[in-house]
Homo-oligomer: A and B are copies of this chain.
Amino acid sequence: MREHFSQLEVAANQNKNIVISCSCTVRYSGRAESFLAQGDRIIMIKPDGTLLIHQPKGSNPINYMKDGTTHDFELKDKKLLLRSYNKAVKEFIDIEIFRIYNKMIDNISDNEKIQLVGSEKDMSDMIYNEPHLIEPGFKPLNREEHTKFGFIDVFGHDKNNTLVVIECKRYIGDPKAVDQLNRYVEKIKASKGLEKVRGVLACPRITPSAHEMLTNMGFEFRSVNPPKYFERYDKDQKRLGEF
């Protein structure tokens, strides 16, 4: 354990990437407070100070600290203590490590950013470029006009020149989405002094209660799917090269 301690102390000071598999307890205090009894976990400390504690199951860390956290290792009674403190948000994690099974210390470097397709933004861009997806005669406002109301996904006029506010959801539309649409429509009505503004919820599908709310509020639903540039990409490797 003493050997682990000295190596980890150096690694932490050098902002290396540290991963440990161990048996430990975890105490957290900050926005909320928590305790986790002894068990096997994977602990990761990133070069930016991020701390992640993972149990053997599930996507989310069971405890964590944001970037900018400082980490101090300490040896005590054959146990290794890790005290993590984030000054900016006044949060604390104390880890008591009883046994280290394995550890990994690395210098890693990565400046790449992910390219993602199929977001809500992609969906509103698609509608903007293909307004017939909403209905014949629908004309989105020009970019400049639109930007004044940046919070609205798509904004335009129908064939009768009535204003239409469109809220996009990449997945199922729920009551929250209807609330949001309603809030935007009311905001536009108030700011422009209009009596009639149409509201449209564009998403692949919609929950029954959301549909009921939509109808009661006089709004409409359009089934629209978020765009994908390559469905099951490995069937058409050529397109990957373009990515």
Question: Could you tell me if B234 and A41 are in contact, using CB atoms closer than 8 angstroms?
Answer: no
Once A19-B42, A234-B29 are accepted as A-B contacts, the answer to whether A114 and B34 lie under 8 Å apart by CB is yes
- Of the candidates A35, A38, A92, the one having the most CB atoms from chain B within 10 angstroms of its own CB is A35
Question: Could you tell me if A21 and B106 are in contact, using CB atoms closer than 8 angstroms?
Answer: yes
Instruction: Tell me the complex Cα distance, A112–B17, Å.
Output: 26
A101 contact set on B, CB distance < 8 A: 106, 108
A214 vs chain B, min Cβ distance (A): 13
Size of the chain A interface, CB-CB below 8 angstroms: 74
Contact indicator per residue, chain A 5-19, by CB within 8 Å of chain B (1) or not (0): 000000000000101
Instruction: Tell me the complex Cα distance, A243–B21, Å.
Output: 25
Q: Which of B29, B48, B111 contacts A39 (CB 8 A)?
A: B111
Once A17-B21, A35-B114 are accepted as A-B contacts, the answer to whether A67 and B56 lie under 8 Å apart by CB is no
A15 vs chain B, min Cβ distance (A): 9
Question: Could you tell me if A57 and B50 are in contact, using CB atoms closer than 8 angstroms?
Answer: yes
Contact of A233 with B by CB under 8 A: yes
Question: Could you tell me if A57 and B63 are in contact, using CB atoms closer than 8 angstroms?
Answer: no
Q: Which of B21, B33, B47, B59 contacts A229 (CB 8 A)?
A: B33
Contact of A32 with B by CB under 8 A: yes
Question: Could you tell me if A57 and B46 are in contact, using CB atoms closer than 8 angstroms?
Answer: yes
